[in-house]
Structure 1
Amino acid sequence: MDVRFLGISELVEAPSAAVVVDVMRAFTVAPWVFAQGAEKIVLAESLDEALALKARHADWVALKDGPPSVGFDAVNSPGLLQSVDLGGRTVVQKTSAGTVGALAVKEASLVLCASFVVAEATARLLQIRECGSVTFVVTGDEGRADEDLACAQYIAKRATGAGPDAAEFLRRAGESRAAAELTQGVRQGAHPDDVALCLELDRFPFAVVASLEDSLMVLRPCVVPP
């Protein structure tokens, strides 16, 4: 498997297969959304588009980065989502990095949205699909976010058959600037448990697959057999 690690701005063409990584917190939140019962997630290009989609579909749930805001029902925090019932709902998600990265590779034949909580399932799906070339999109901090790079590198090693010790990769993520900002309250719309939840390796048995449906980028869970 040929593997590349790129920031969003470094993407010049649609890769054949892409794994878009946002550990803190968009693609930790997405698996939690499914765990809370949601049917699908629709990625919005902008906050205005998120609100417009919700206006057209009164039962949809709109979710964004930062503090609570008028028109939005939830914020991008796994800790805050633990008590939310999303049974059968569609969630519209707009964040500053993760959703941007996924939309940037929407023309790829396979797009997976990943974090540590779905790492093993993501790696296994890459193996099952027999991907010869995979681009890992490191979404945070213009491609330099160490929590995202560490997760991407870990998944890449698992997908190529290596058995890396996860502890070092989780340590890097836990010592990242994003983790510090969440812990110190720099980032709004957070829960005290967010960092710990973002570092729960393989909490969920499914991968998160993104694909175009009627011009919208839609995320759905894909259970991967062990």
Structure 2
Amino acid sequence: MPIVGMNAQIPSGEVVVVIDVIRAFTTAAVAFERGAMEIACAPTADIGRELRRQHRDSLLVGETNGLKPADFDFGNSPFEMSTAQLDGRSLIQATTNGTLGLARCPDPAALLAVSARNVGATARWIASNHADVPWTLICTGRTAEDWACARYLGDLLGGSTPPRADLVAAIMDGAAEHTRNRAQLPESERVDLSEDLRFCCDVDRSEFAMVGEIRKDHVALTMAPC
């Protein structure tokens, strides 16, 4: 049962889990913690904008090249989301990797979004609802954190108990990779992860899975406590 990158062919009929630790699905998990009812995950910023034109009461969340577009209500930041008042609100999220990854899964048995924050709950949800179905884990980024989270989830699904400290260390390594990759950019184009990292590293803080429903131009995530 494979762990793959974004360019892999995704088979039909499997449980597909899309992983984005820094930062899309950590941000989504915090949004649900703050009371969001549904998150419409758009594959591009422009589709996100179109969804907001159709649903004026929804808040638009996300990033382009890591940074919050001027017309978005929130950036792709779990720290920023942690103080938002979202009770009963619907969100639209558009990010470079995470929400795009969800759009690449046309016919799954189940589709889930995961970060370290809800990895244990995701394993429990799969075990309760699709225990005998093959699964594929998609790492949307190339840095260490998504692959470590995939291995951690794979171990949980296999019945073992991997050490959280190893996952946290990999998330910190991944953040350092992000910083190095952007070091040559102008300061205005760099992404400051310092306030977000404690949310990204908070393994199993969220006791719910984020389950996706495929719609015409997006994937709608809802919270499934478990």
- TM-score, normalised by the number of residues in structure 1: 0.89
Q: Residues of 2 paired with 1:188 and 1:79: CA distance?
A: 17
Distance 1:112 1:74, change over 3 A: same
Using the TM superposition, give the Cα deviation of residue 180 of structure 1 relative to its aligned residue in structure 2, in angstroms: 4.6
Q: State the superposition RMSD in angstroms.
A: 2.1
SS in 1 for 2:205: coil
Q: Residues of 1 paired with 2:52 and 2:95: CA distance?
A: 16
Aligned twin of 1:32? 30
Distance 1:188 1:36, change over 3 A: farther
Aligned twin of 1:193? 195
Q: 1:181 aligns with which of 161, 178, 181?
A: 178
Q: Percent identity?
A: 28
Using the TM superposition, give the Cα deviation of residue 132 of structure 1 relative to its aligned residue in structure 2, in angstroms: 3.2
Aligned twin of 2:95? 95
Verify the 8 A CA contact 2:115 2:149 in the aligned structure 1: yes
Distance 1:188 1:86, change over 3 A: farther
Aligned twin of 2:139? 138
Q: 2:56 aligns with which of 55, 58, 71?
A: 58
User: Deviations for 1:124-151, whole angstroms, at most 9, x for unmatched residues?
Assistant: 111112143110001102xxx2100100
Distance 1:70 1:12, change over 3 A: same
**Alignment length (residue pairs):** 218
User: Deviations for 1:132-177, whole angstroms, at most 9, x for unmatched residues?
Assistant: 3110001102xxx21001001101111111122221122122112x
Distance 1:120 1:10, change over 3 A: same
Verify the 8 A CA contact 2:43 2:218 in the aligned structure 1: no
SS in 2 for 1:74: coil
Q: Residues of 2 paired with 1:63 and 1:86: CA distance?
A: 12
Distance 1:63 1:182, change over 3 A: farther
Counterpart residue identity of residue 195, structure 1: L
SS in 2 for 1:23: coil
Using the TM superposition, give the Cα deviation of residue 109 of structure 1 relative to its aligned residue in structure 2, in angstroms: 1.5
Distance 1:12 1:161, change over 3 A: closer
Aligned twin of 2:128? 128
Q: Residues of 2 paired with 1:159 and 1:28: CA distance?
A: 20
Verify the 8 A CA contact 1:158 1:164 in the aligned structure 2: yes
Counterpart residue identity of residue 6, structure 1: V
- TM-score, normalised by the number of residues in structure 2: 0.89
Using the TM superposition, give the Cα deviation of residue 207 of structure 1 relative to its aligned residue in structure 2, in angstroms: 0.7
User: Deviations for 1:163-222, whole angstroms, at most 9, x for unmatched residues?
Assistant: 22221122122112x345359986756453211210101001101101124654100010
Counterpart residue identity of residue 126, structure 1: I
5+ long unaligned stretches in structure 2: 184-188
User: Deviations for 1:48-70, whole angstroms, at most 9, x for unmatched residues?
Assistant: 11111111211110112133323
Q: Residues of 2 paired with 1:113 and 1:12: CA distance?
A: 15
Distance 1:10 1:214, change over 3 A: closer
5+ long unaligned stretches in structure 1: none
User: Deviations for 1:75-113, whole angstroms, at most 9, x for unmatched residues?
Assistant: 001011111111111111111111111110142110111
Aligned twin of 1:219? 221
Q: Residues of 1 paired with 2:220 and 2:176: CA distance?
A: 28
Q: Are positions 1:72 and 2:69 aligned together?
A: no
Aligned twin of 1:41? 39
Q: Residues of 2 paired with 1:139 and 1:207: CA distance?
A: 18
Q: 2:169 aligns with which of 171, 191, 194?
A: 171
Q: Residues of 1 paired with 2:198 and 2:112: CA distance?
A: 23
